[in-house]
A and B are shown apart, each in its own frame.
Chain A
Amino acid sequence: MSFVDIKNVRKSFANVEVLKGVTINVEKGEIVTIIGRSGSGKSTLLRCINGLESIDDGEIRINGEVVHDKATDLRRLREKVGIVFQQFNLFPHMTVEQNITLAPTLTKRVAKGEAARKLAHEVLSRVGLEQKIDAYPEQLSGGQQQRVAIARCLAMGPELMLFDEVTSALDPELVGEVLKVMEDLARQGMTMILVTHEMNFARNVASKIVFMHAGKVHEQGAPAALFANPATPELRNFISSTH
């Protein structure tokens, strides 16, 4: 069984079916990039993976554990599954350090005080922002905020990270610094599922690309092959529209 096993997942909002039977496998250490038009269900799928959304049919397993099983401790599961959003979602009333150490100290992963600050420092160094440890989110640029959001996830020691268009809200000149952090994570062997419109990044970093269309996996494969020889007109159109 794969590390992340998404099988035939269906999901509707009211009467509109957004996911119409999605099946994706992600192995440990893989970088899976989901691409597709706006409204094709990419965010919804990511939100289903960490249990933010319920599903109507099918199954999602992470490391064997069924996400939507009533018996599953979602909170414990989420400590292993980090998610980073387009809008950063940092807590405005907390400093960078507090943002990072809140969850680890509340869930008793690390003691308050020195140990917590050390953890904050350590994850901040992985995103190159040690010097901002005492700043408030509002005092940071969008790119810096997003890197703090990634550091906040890392502090939980996740085994899987989900990224939902994390560079889409950034000014163009700030996109690079965030992508670089993600590249570093990929190189360190983090398992990642990411939704992105950065085609170059997808091409260079992903181990697999999934093209979603109308609530289904329309096509998937290794980046080079997929971009060179799209099998369907929908993917061909999508690729040409992103240039």
Chain B
Amino acid sequence: MTLNFNQLWRYQDDFLHGIQMTLTLTLIATVAGMLIGLLGALLSNNRLPAVRLLIRSYVEVIRNTPALIQIFLIFFVLPYAGLRLPPFEAAAVALSIYMGAYSVEIFRSGLASIPRSQIEAGQCLGLTRFQVFRHVILLPALRNIYPSLTSQIILILLGSSLASQVSAEELFHTAAFVESRTYRSFEVYAVVCAIYFVMVLSLRLIFAGAERIAFRWPTRR
């Protein structure tokens, strides 16, 4: 077997497009998922049992079923309910819901990691509930969940390749497309694998840098 990467150069633009869409998908799922997660975490000790049950069910259903099936459900089944989404949009929605469920758990553990005494100290200084959340809880909680949250974002980036299964345009979809044109399976998947690797590595570096900037305060030894 001889390796031949030359043919792949012609598809440079397709790869770039794939990378761009994968990153877009990851960004959408991350932002939307984190918003869902934050909201869900704040509501998960709500007074109303119905609200708590709703959030619990959401988290358990999503975390205990394959992401691929969730994408299929959104893409193939929602149309029967009258909501037809294009592949990319369907994948974005599904991944956001998926990221949301994990984020609820992550944010919940973050909120729980802040001692009651910190919240009381804020209350005793005459802060509102929102001010306590915003100024006392948020940053230390984010710091505590930063490792799990960033790992989850990376899992979403890697998992976004599942979107190719409903023909959403993203990097893995590009790979399949180029392979079908060139029949150079090994070369194509080696290149795509390397691209994922570099993307994840860069993301990790960015996360590490952001951590240094956002969380400067010294912690207990």
Residue numbers of A with Cβ under 8 A of B are 50, 52, 75-76, 78-79, 82-83, 85, 87, 89-94, 102-103, 106-107, 136, 138-139, 152, 156
What is the minimal beta-carbon distance from A195 to any residue of chain B, in angstroms? 15
The answer to whether A106 and B135 touch across the interface, beta carbons within 8 angstroms, is: yes
Complex CA distance for A106 and B120, rounded to whole angstroms: 16
Tell me the B119-150 residues at the A interface (CB within 8 Å). Answer: 120-128, 131, 135-136, 139-140, 143
The answer to whether B121 and A85 touch across the interface, beta carbons within 8 angstroms, is: yes
Residues of B within 8 A of A50 (CB): 124
The one of A78, A93, A94, A138 that contacts B126, using a Cβ cutoff of 8 Å:
A78
Complex CA distance for A89 and B217, rounded to whole angstroms: 15
Complex CA distance for A102 and B123, rounded to whole angstroms: 12
What is the minimal beta-carbon distance from A165 to any residue of chain B, in angstroms? 13
The answer to whether B218 and A139 touch across the interface, beta carbons within 8 angstroms, is: yes
The answer to whether A93 and B220 touch across the interface, beta carbons within 8 angstroms, is: no
B6 is an interface residue with CB less than 8 A from chain A: no
Residues of A within 8 A of B118 (CB): 89, 91
Complex CA distance for A103 and B127, rounded to whole angstroms: 7
Residues of A within 8 A of B220 (CB): 138
The one of A52, A107, A139, A152 that contacts B123, using a Cβ cutoff of 8 Å:
A52
Residue numbers of B with Cβ under 8 A of A are 117-118, 120-128, 131, 135-136, 139-140, 143, 215, 217-220
Which of B118, B131, B217 is packed against the most chain A CB atoms within 10 Å?
B217
Which of A75, A79, A87 is packed against the most chain B CB atoms within 10 Å?
A75
The answer to whether A94 and B124 touch across the interface, beta carbons within 8 angstroms, is: no
What is the minimal beta-carbon distance from B27 to any residue of chain A, in angstroms? 27
Residues of B within 8 A of A107 (CB): 126-127
The answer to whether B121 and A78 touch across the interface, beta carbons within 8 angstroms, is: no
What are 24 inter-chain pairs, A to B, with CB distance below 8 A? A50-B124, A52-B120, A76-B126, A78-B123, A78-B126, A79-B126, A82-B124, A85-B117, A87-B117, A91-B121, A91-B135, A91-B136, A92-B217, A93-B139, A93-B215, A102-B125, A102-B127, A107-B126, A107-B127, A136-B218, A138-B217, A139-B218, A152-B125, A156-B125
4 smallest CB-CB distances across A and B, nearest first, come from: A103-B125, A89-B121, A79-B126, A138-B218
Residues of B within 8 A of A90 (CB): 121
Residues of A within 8 A of B139 (CB): 93
Complex CA distance for A106 and B118, rounded to whole angstroms: 17
Complex CA distance for A92 and B122, rounded to whole angstroms: 13
Residues of A within 8 A of B120 (CB): 52, 89
Residues of A within 8 A of B215 (CB): 93
The answer to whether B218 and A78 touch across the interface, beta carbons within 8 angstroms, is: no
